[in-house]
Amino acid sequence: MYSNLWLIPFFPLIGSIFNGLFGKKIKNEAVIGSIATGMVFLSFLVAAQNFFKLLGDTEKVHELVMASWITVGKFQLNWEFLLDPLSAVMILVVTGVGTLIHLYSIGYMHGEEGYYRFFCYMNLFAFAMLMLVLGGNALVMFIGWEGVGLCSYLLIGYYYEKKSASTAANKAFIVNRIGDFGFLCGLLTLFWALAEKGVWTLNFVKIAESGHLLESGGLLITVVTLCFFLGATGKSAQIPLFTWLPDAMEGPTPVSALIHAATMVTAGVYMIGRMNGLFAMAPATMMTIAIVGGLTAFFAATIGLAQNDIKRVLAYSTVSQLGYMFLAMGVGAFSAGIFHLMTHAFFKACLFLGSGSVIHGLHHAYHHAHLHDDPQDMRNMGGLRKKMPITFITFLVSTIAISGIPFFSGFFSKDEILWWSFGSTRGHWLLWVLGAAAAGMTAFYMFRLVFMTFFGEQKTDARAKDHIPESPFTITIPLMVLGFFALIGGYIGVPKILGGANRFDAFLAPVFEHAQHANEIHAHGTHATEYTLMAVSVAIATVGIFTAWVMYIRNPELPGKFVARFEGAHRVIFNKWYIDELYENVFVIPCKRIGTFLWRGFDVKVVDGVVNGCAWVVKGVGAGLRYTQSGYLYNYAMAMVVGVVVIVGFFIF
Amino acid sequence: MENLVQEAIQNVNLQAIMPSLVLSGLAMVLLMISVFSKRGSTTHVAWLSIVALVITGLVTLTGWNNPQAGFAGSVLFDNFATFFSMICIVAAALTILMSDDYLRREGYPVSEYYPLILFTTAGAMWMASGTDLMTIFLGLEVLSVSLYVLAGFFRNQTRSNEAGLKYFFLGAFSTGFLLYGVALLYGVTGTTKIDGIAAYVQANPDTALNTMFIAGGLLLLVGFLFKIAAAPFHMWTPDVYQGAPTPITAFMSAGPKAAAFAALMRVTIIGLDGLQSELTSLFWLLAVLTMTIGNFVALSQKDLKRMLAYSSISHAGYALVGLVAWNAIGLSAILFYMLVYTFMNLGAFAVLILIGKKGEDNLTLDGVAGLGYKKPILGIVLTIFLFSLMGLPPTAGFTGKFYIFAGAIEAGYIWLAILGVMNSAVSLYYYLRVIVQMYFRDPEEDFNWVTINVPTAISIAVSVVGVLYLGLFPNSLMNLAKMAGF
Amino acid sequence: MITVNHYMLLSAILFTIGTFGVLTRKNAIVLFMCIEVMLNSVNLTFIALSRHVGNMDGQIFVFFVMTVAAAEAAVGLALMIAFYRNKDSIDVDDFNMLKW
Amino acid sequence: MADYLLSIMTFFPLLGILVLLFIPRDNGGLLKGFTLVVSLATFAISLPLAFDNVFTTSGGMHYREFYEWINIGNFFQMNYNLGVDGISLWLVMLTTFIVPITVLSTWNAVDKNIKGFMAMLLLLETGMLGAFISLDLFLFYIFWELMLIPMYFLIGIWGGKNRIYAAVKFFIYTAVGSLLMLVAIIFVYYYAVQSGAPMNGFGIQELYKLDLPYNAQFWLFLAFGFSFAIKVPMFPLHTWLPDAHTEAPTAGSVILAAVMLKMGTYGYVRFAMPLFPDALPTFIPYLAFLSVVGIIYGSLVAMMQDDIKKLVAYSSVAHLGFVMLGVFAMNLQGLAGGMIQMVNHGISTGALFLIVGFLYERRHTRLITEFGGVATKMPIFATIFMIITFSSIGLPGTNGFVGEFLALMGAFQSSLRWYAVFATSGVILAAVYMLWVYQRVMFGKVTNPENEKLKDLSAREIIIMLPLLLFVFWIGVAPNTFLSKMNPAMEQILVQMNDKKVAVVEVQQPVVANVLEIKSIVD
């Protein structure tokens, strides 16, 4: 039936291996790029075929066992895939957005030295991500889980000659590893707990089936899910592990779009969705997730207010949006979370690619003018809407979408999340306040970005000013497609209250139904409340946009005054709440100090000191005893006599 | 009176002393030959001594499984005596082989040297076969007096003089204690025969508590402990070993020591069986003390001969462990170990003899730097001996030590075994230092003075074969040692 | 009445004197004489005990001891002469080339 | 052939040495080539083992060889008693597999006294193989000590600046442990003799069935465990390792890491644990604790090293911690994880040492600060290094993951759950130190002009690495090839341990109570 599922990850793997082995010899960018893009596109086709097949299928959960992987006694693990509505949506998003970004990269990466390397990694990423979403058991998922981390590492460190890039890559991988530690702990505890009950499995379907064996709301399930959530915070850049994502912007922009916006970072959300049954059983975890999500959404948004690097703003925006998704998961709005995941994939990918287009243009111009200005600094931009019309329009559409303006995709998904966070049995009005405030700030900083970049005076260095071109079509086509989806992507999930059927929710229902019903998670409240909330959130967004307009178009001196007025607050926000410094001082430096101490202070001095000390004592005693051997006959005779006397005396008396 | 003489004559059993008789006789013939030989020509005497040893060896071997008692029970040439005699003969033969060239190099081509070694061997054989304290004493003195001479053989060399004198004085001193002990035992039991003493103690169990008996027994042991260089009677060893001519050092550490062990074992196990509990605790202590002092002090030695002297002290300690065990395994282990030690120690000394310059001032740790590269075969061979001395498989040193510790553990002396192996671990360091010098340092000298002569080469070859063969296939000789134990 | 105990005591004293001599005297010849004293004290013991025990073994032993002592004297004196030739001294304090 | 396969395999390298002696000493190429042929032939001889399906069905000993060797009547008896089962199978294969690689790696690295070097390598191979297949404690001990000698020379003669200290330390440190084990071996033997148990020399299969009182087991386990813990090495007995590794020539480091360290862990599985199962519950908490400390400690110390080789050495301490944790979990998953991790560590860390060797051959330094930006000059090398790095980190899909995961899974199933949590944090630290060193060596711009002239890997060097890379992925993707042959043997040994055991491991005793218990029993 769905026996060609394996082809979906297989194609990119082939592409990756091919480019990895032969890319260097081929040298032809067109060949390399089209192979890579083609492979992901093939995956997309297969994914689409399976998706539509599933759409028409009454049986919504399908497993495909490929081979046995690890077999030790009762522990039997297979290479297996799982296709259900959730993974079906994900593979479409991944391969779809992936194809576009690959296509985009062909032009964007033109002339790069490691062209083949880039596509090799990108394809490898697609492979890993598809393994992640298609994995039929937690370990196959974990392959993808770590695999995307690896690719993220490789791609962030793509410009490895740059110290900051390789450092960012390391940071990304290591912070992710902290999350993976949680994931592994959760996984192993879960496995043990189930094995105690006689179920030896890591298979998702079986886990879901036997979840009821564990005590609902019990300590064990709470610990397990919290561990998993730690994994999710790592991968999805939530508090406390979000710091790697902004740094990850060191990678080429398509990477930021694909990995650090559209797909990989959403893996945490996906994972929670995948195990929704378990999470739903642990209200404490759910609450934690909701709070962490809400706080992340809020704090990341505050940081986004003051950044000047175009990609960093987007990065914090991503963190913030991911916070929304977690908020959704935490309040039990699983399908809303996934819905937002999807719409976010469209508009954020479009935003990143758009920013990439801008950077590409500026870079081109600077290069032309032999300048070394930072092409990512928004303070050097402005007025680009005329130079890059397509980029501008798609960017604007996506900005509106992310700001939650009605009838754009972001509106539907974000609003549903806000509604659930207020009205869900697991929700709370404080969560809603956090979300709404974040939404307002999002609208503000996104429009700030648009205004600073595309409107107003052109602040680019005069010498480069006139050389900013619109990007080539391999760049603009993906932009347009994504912009289109950012515009309309929300319509598959129009909530009932607005007269829609919320087909998205219905499609995903088989996955989440059980968790929601069994644990009585549902949004309740009157239509009136829902309408009111919707109106309030739209109003907040509008206020945000208006403020941005006031500050950056009508009265450009205002931001400066603002900064001067609230200098302290600005500095804190600008420096990202000093979280990096905090971690550096609390974890990194002590860790290094401990390491150094353990080595030089403990290992060498104490442990080895004891070893060498033993040798030294033995040698010292020997050297001392040596001098009893004085060379004088009478001393020797004396020793003998003493020996005799002692021996005889001892035995006689 | 007539009857007594007749009885005595009937008691004479020349077979029982035939090996030592033959050896002494041949040694005297050789002494005469050397008197009439041209001064400075020693080689023929050396080879004739070898022939004498071979003959003696053949005669000795007829005693295997054919115990001969004689002289009113004061001599018993049993398997035990045969085994030890063979050790001494082998040691003497190897020593003689490595001596000839050495004597000429050092400028003392004096052929009396060889008969002296033969006399020593004969004395050793008496000690091994004596069952009367009188015979043992005689053997001991024959052995000692010859050794005093041999130790001081280089009469123009102060070092050798000093070694001889120190050995002589301390040896004589210890003999005093031994004799006093014999006298006391005699006073209590009325006999100097070992089995007579044992029989007396068996008949009068209270004897074991008798002060005079205990004191006598302990003083008697002092003489033997002195000879085997057990602490605190070991002090002569390093000085004498260092000062004596190198082949004699090698010989002293093997043959006479084995003989002393033989006498010690016979006296303690058979004669002083009544004091078993006292003696085992004494030997326990002495074994540990001896091993520890030997190994610890060896750590800081630079002179190779002196280092090997301390090493030989520690090996006496290991061998004593077998005596502590006081069981069949431990005793036969000592026999086996003595044989093994003969091979590995004589082999090591033979290599040192080859690489020494005249006066042997270069036999220090630094002096062998890079030997392994300049003289690879000598290097490998010395390495094998050193590994054997360390007690590492697959050399005989390992099987020997294994046998010893097996005895101790079988008898329940776990701690002794642990202290023993820990001592082996300490000893690794100083043996390894030699290997470090030979292989891990760059050669400073080209060792062009080293010439390999056939007799020494033979003795080294025999030792290497012995060490490796007894390491890999110890079965046959272990079984012989088992049969030789009592 | 002089009993065997008196002999034993006397020989023990002699033995001790000899031992002390060995420990304290520096001249090699004197040292050697001290050792001879020790040996002779043993001889005395043997003879006394031989009488006490009632067999001849002890006395035979004494003959051996005396013979051996003579042999030792020969060898020992020869060694001393050799040493004296090299060092012009037979003081035991000069026997200290080999140490440590 | 099959009847004598093990003997032929074990002594073939020794035979090679004999021939080697007659090759002129200055013909380096021939010496190396010949040694390569010998080691490859040994590998070929051992290959039938890997393909023999008997291991998948039966957990017992196969390819048995038995001859009486030393028989001293009622004194003692030793036999030439060989056999291989699923537990030793892959370690044997690892040994025969890794030796040709090390021979190849010496091609340009060793130029002094090649004959000696090659002879030592082959002698080492004999020792290692013998130790893995000995079923007689005495025979095992002989091979065990035999390994020391060639390794001592490899470090001492062909090592780095501080080689003498390292070699002597290595030798004495490991010998101290093994000598205590010798006492224990002899004790077990005579205990068995005196208790009248059926025996077959020092044959372990008979000794497995011996009923030892707890008190004796306690001390015996301590002696065996101490010896093996030094070899593993477990914290705090590890300090010989960084020195030995740093000073050893590449080939020595590779063999040391890949095979010799496994002797310790193998010793636990084959000897210490099944021989003295009653003492296990007492020791497991402490040993597991030390394993975990080793993981974290090794990682933290590795992180701060400035010498790449030392870093890899300390990382070994951490990796072996996982092995030990898995083994001490005392269940099938943990044991399998431990065993697979042994092979993994052999491959990954062996490869890392080769990689360090490549750098050292080119630059004659191993200081991290001397490098930087190497990736630009040596792209192939960078790729291989990257793969091995991630294998060492334990990325899923590579070998490292399978081992770590199974070991941790086993630990989670057992009473060592809490230890396992801390051990899991090792995966973070592993990433930290490996990626950090990778960054500092490979990434960035070439700042040191010396690095400008670095050449990428030669064909020979790539050939060395390829088989290792193959196994990195093979074990990662299809570990069942290996696991299926291990499982029966592991099951058997676990059943055997549990059958004999008085106490049950699963009951976790508080640590304090344990101490008191030991005291009362010892008293």
Q: What is the pLDDT of residues D265-315, one digit of tens each?
A: 999 999 988 888 888 888 999 999 999 999 999 999 998 888 899 999 999
Mean pLDDT of chain D: 87
User: What is the spatial distance between Cα B450 and Cα B352, in angstroms, rounded to a whole number?
Assistant: 10
pLDDT at position A591 is: 86
Chain A residue with minimum CA distance to B300: A623
Do the domain assignments include residue B477? yes
Query: What are the chain A neighbours of B299 within 8 Å (beta carbons)?
Result: 618-619, 622-623
User: What is the spatial distance between Cα B416 and Cα D183, in angstroms, rounded to a whole number?
Assistant: 10
CA D48 to chain centre: 22
Query: What are the chain C neighbours of B165 within 8 Å (beta carbons)?
Result: 28, 76, 79-80, 83, 95
Chain B interface includes C79 (CB < 8 A): yes
* Residues D256 and D290 occupy one common structural domain: no
Query: What are the chain C neighbours of A626 within 8 Å (beta carbons)?
Result: 100
**CA D519 vs CA B385, D130, D218, D284, D513: distances in Å:** 44, 38, 11, 16, 10
Domain stop point among D224, D250, D275: D275
Do the domain assignments include residue D213? yes
Interface contact B170-A636, CB threshold 8 A: yes
Angle (deg, nearest 10), helices D480-500 and D332-363: 130
Backbone angles phi, psi at D452, to 5 degrees: -60, -35
Question: How does residue D522 score in pLDDT terms, banded at 50, 70 and 90?
Answer: very low
Chain A interface includes B215 (CB < 8 A): yes
Query: By residue range, what is the domain housing residue C34?
Result: 4-98
> Using CB atoms, which residue from B183, B238, B239 is nearest to C45?
B183
Which residues fall within 8 angstroms of residue B399, CB to CB, at 6 or more apart? B336, B340, B393, B470, B471, B474, B478
Do the domain assignments include residue B161? no
For range B379-407, the mean pLDDT: 92
Do the domain assignments include residue D238? yes
pLDDT at position D508 is: 40
Chain A interface includes B426 (CB < 8 A): yes
* Residues D401 and D476 occupy one common structural domain: yes
What percentage of chain B has pLDDT greater than the value 90?
Answer: 60
The residue assigned the tokens 């680009």 is A384
DSSP-assigned beta bridge partners for residue D200: D202
User: What is the spatial distance between Cα D174 and Cα D244, in angstroms, rounded to a whole number?
Assistant: 11
Question: Do A and C count as touching (3 or more CB pairs closer than 8 A)?
Answer: yes
pLDDT tens, position by position, D119-131? 999 999 999 999 9
* Residues D242 and D313 occupy one common structural domain: no
Question: How does residue D504 score in pLDDT terms, banded at 50, 70 and 90?
Answer: very low
CATH of the domain at C74: 1.10.287.3510
Do the domain assignments include residue B289? yes
What's the total number of domains in chain B?
A: 1
* Residues D231 and D270 occupy one common structural domain: yes
Query: What are the chain D neighbours of B398 within 8 Å (beta carbons)?
Result: 142, 145
Shortest alpha-carbon distance between residue B452 and chain D (Å): 20
Shortest alpha-carbon distance between residue D46 and chain A (Å): 25
Do the domain assignments include residue B440? yes
Interface contact B329-D70, CB threshold 8 A: no
Shortest alpha-carbon distance between residue B365 and chain A (Å): 16
Q: Which residues of B330-359 are buried (b: 16+ CB within 10 A; e: fewer)?
A: bbbbbbbbbbbbbbbbbbbbbbbbbbbeee
Query: By residue range, what is the domain housing residue D164?
Result: 1-275
pLDDT tens, position by position, D439-473? 888 888 888 888 888 888 888 899 989 999 999 99
Do the domain assignments include residue D80? yes
Question: How does residue A1 score in pLDDT terms, banded at 50, 70 and 90?
Answer: low
Interface contact A598-D300, CB threshold 8 A: yes
Which residues fall within 8 angstroms of residue D405, CB to CB, at 6 or more apart? A70, A139, A184, D337, D394, D396
User: Are D225 and D184 a contacting pair, CB within 8 Å?
Assistant: no
User: What is the spatial distance between Cα A448 and Cα A399, in angstroms, rounded to a whole number?
Assistant: 10
Helix (H) / strand (E) containing D367:
none
> Using CB atoms, which residue from B163, B182, B183 is nearest to C98?
B163
pLDDT at position B2 is: 65
Chain D interface includes A616 (CB < 8 A): no
> Using CB atoms, which residue from C45, C52, C87 is nearest to B180?
C45
Interface contact A595-D240, CB threshold 8 A: no
Query: What are the chain B neighbours of D183 within 8 Å (beta carbons)?
Result: 405, 409, 414, 417-418, 421
Query: What are the chain A neighbours of C96 within 8 Å (beta carbons)?
Result: 630-632
For range C77-98, the mean pLDDT: 88
pLDDT at position B186 is: 92
User: What is the spatial distance between Cα D474 and Cα A115, in angstroms, rounded to a whole number?
Assistant: 29
* B37 φ/ψ sector (left φ>0, alpha ψ -120 to 50, else beta): beta
User: What is the spatial distance between Cα D68 and Cα A58, in angstroms, rounded to a whole number?
Assistant: 72
Interface pTM (ipTM) of the complex? 0.90
Residue in D390, D505, D501, D489 with CA at minimum distance from that of residue D438: D390
Residue in A100, C64, B297, B380 with CA at minimum distance from that of residue D149: B380
CA B170 to chain centre: 18
Residue in A434, A133, A96 with CA at minimum distance from that of residue A273: A133
- Beta strand pairing call for A62-72 and A75-83: antiparallel
Domain stop point among D275, D299, D322: D275
Chain D interface includes A594 (CB < 8 A): yes
Contact partners of B by the rule of 3+ C-beta pairs under 8 A?
A, C, D
Query: What are the chain A neighbours of C97 within 8 Å (beta carbons)?
Result: 631
pLDDT tens, position by position, B297-329? 999 888 999 999 999 999 999 999 999 998 889
CA D326 to chain centre: 15
The residue assigned the tokens 């050397």 is B34
pLDDT beyond 80 at D499 = no
Helix (H) / strand (E) containing A80:
strand A75-83
Chain A interface includes B451 (CB < 8 A): no
**CA B80 vs CA B60, B61, B83, B123, B127: distances in Å:** 11, 11, 5, 16, 11
User: What is the spatial distance between Cα A624 and Cα A627, in angstroms, rounded to a whole number?
Assistant: 6
Question: Do C and B count as touching (3 or more CB pairs closer than 8 A)?
Answer: yes
Do the domain assignments include residue D521? no
Chain C interface includes A623 (CB < 8 A): no
* Residues D339 and D470 occupy one common structural domain: yes
Backbone angles phi, psi at C56, to 5 degrees: -90, -10
Interface with A, mutate which of C16, C20, C23 (most A CBs under 10 A): C23
Between chain A and chain B, the number of residue pairs with CB atoms below 8 A apart is 76
pLDDT at position D501 is: 58
* Residues D222 and D334 occupy one common structural domain: no
For range D320-327, the mean pLDDT: 91
pLDDT tens, position by position, A18-28? 988 888 888 78
Please give the DSSP secondary-structure letter assigned to residue D396: B
User: Are B312 and B294 a contacting pair, CB within 8 Å?
Assistant: yes
What's the total number of domains in chain D?
A: 2
> Using CB atoms, which residue from B214, B238, B278 is nearest to A629?
B238
pLDDT tens, position by position, B87-106? 999 999 999 999 988 998 88
Question: How does residue A460 score in pLDDT terms, banded at 50, 70 and 90?
Answer: confident
User: Are A193 and A262 a contacting pair, CB within 8 Å?
Assistant: no
User: What is the spatial distance between Cα A139 and Cα A157, in angstroms, rounded to a whole number?
Assistant: 26
Mean pLDDT of chain A: 86
What percentage of chain D has pLDDT greater than the value 90?
Answer: 36
Cβ count near C50 (within 10 Å): 21
Helix (H) / strand (E) containing D79:
strand D77-84
pLDDT beyond 70 at D521 = no
DSSP-assigned beta bridge partners for residue D136: D203
Residue ranges of D 325-364 with Cβ closer than 8 A to chain A: 332-333, 336
pLDDT at position B261 is: 93
User: What is the spatial distance between Cα A156 and Cα A246, in angstroms, rounded to a whole number?
Assistant: 11
* Residues D315 and D185 occupy one common structural domain: no
* C33 φ/ψ sector (left φ>0, alpha ψ -120 to 50, else beta): alpha
3 state DSSP class of B50: helix
* D67 φ/ψ sector (left φ>0, alpha ψ -120 to 50, else beta): beta
* Residues D194 and D261 occupy one common structural domain: yes
User: Are A630 and B238 a contacting pair, CB within 8 Å?
Assistant: no
Chain C interface includes A645 (CB < 8 A): no
What's the total number of domains in chain C?
A: 1
User: What is the spatial distance between Cα A25 and Cα A29, in angstroms, rounded to a whole number?
Assistant: 11
DSSP sequence for B352-385:
HHHHPPTT-TT-BTGGGTTHHHHSHHHHHHHHHH
User: What is the spatial distance between Cα A535 and Cα A407, in angstroms, rounded to a whole number?
Assistant: 13
Chain D interface includes A592 (CB < 8 A): yes
User: What is the spatial distance between Cα A23 and Cα A31, in angstroms, rounded to a whole number?
Assistant: 9
3 state DSSP class of A467: coil
Do the domain assignments include residue D98? yes
pLDDT at position D1 is: 62
Helix (H) / strand (E) containing A62:
strand A62-72
Question: How does residue A458 score in pLDDT terms, banded at 50, 70 and 90?
Answer: confident
Chain B interface includes C40 (CB < 8 A): no
Interface with B, mutate which of C14, C68, C91 (most B CBs under 10 A): C68
Interface of D with B (CB under 8 A): 69-73, 75-76, 113, 138, 141-142, 145-146, 148-149, 152-153, 156-157, 163-164, 167-168, 171-172, 175-176, 179-180, 182-183, 186-187, 189-190, 193
Interface with B, mutate which of C7, C98, C99, C100 (most B CBs under 10 A): C98
User: What is the spatial distance between Cα A199 and Cα A202, in angstroms, rounded to a whole number?
Assistant: 9
Query: What are the chain D neighbours of B475 within 8 Å (beta carbons)?
Result: 69-72
What percentage of chain C has pLDDT greater than the value 90?
Answer: 58
Do the domain assignments include residue D519? no
> Using CB atoms, which residue from A625, A640, A643 is nearest to B296?
A625
Please give the DSSP secondary-structure letter assigned to residue A471: P
Chain D interface includes A228 (CB < 8 A): no
Query: By residue range, what is the domain housing residue B410?
Result: 277-486
Helices vs. strands in chain C: H and E counts, helices first: 3, 0
User: Are A128 and A42 a contacting pair, CB within 8 Å?
Assistant: no
Between chain B and chain D, the number of residue pairs with CB atoms below 8 A apart is 92
Interface contact C99-A629, CB threshold 8 A: yes
pLDDT at position A489 is: 81
Please give the DSSP secondary-structure letter assigned to residue D509: P
Query: What are the chain C neighbours of A629 within 8 Å (beta carbons)?
Result: 99-100
pLDDT beyond 60 at D208 = yes
pLDDT at position B1 is: 56
Chain B residue with minimum CA distance to C85: B156
User: What is the spatial distance between Cα A567 and Cα B18, in angstroms, rounded to a whole number?
Assistant: 114
Chain A residue with minimum CA distance to B212: A652
Interface contact C53-B172, CB threshold 8 A: no
Interface contact A627-C97, CB threshold 8 A: no
Do the domain assignments include residue D523? no
Shortest alpha-carbon distance between residue D444 and chain A (Å): 4
3 state DSSP class of C6: helix
pLDDT beyond 70 at D518 = no
Domain stop point among D239, D254, D275: D275
**CA C34 vs CA A640, B164, B220, C49: distances in Å:** 16, 18, 20, 22
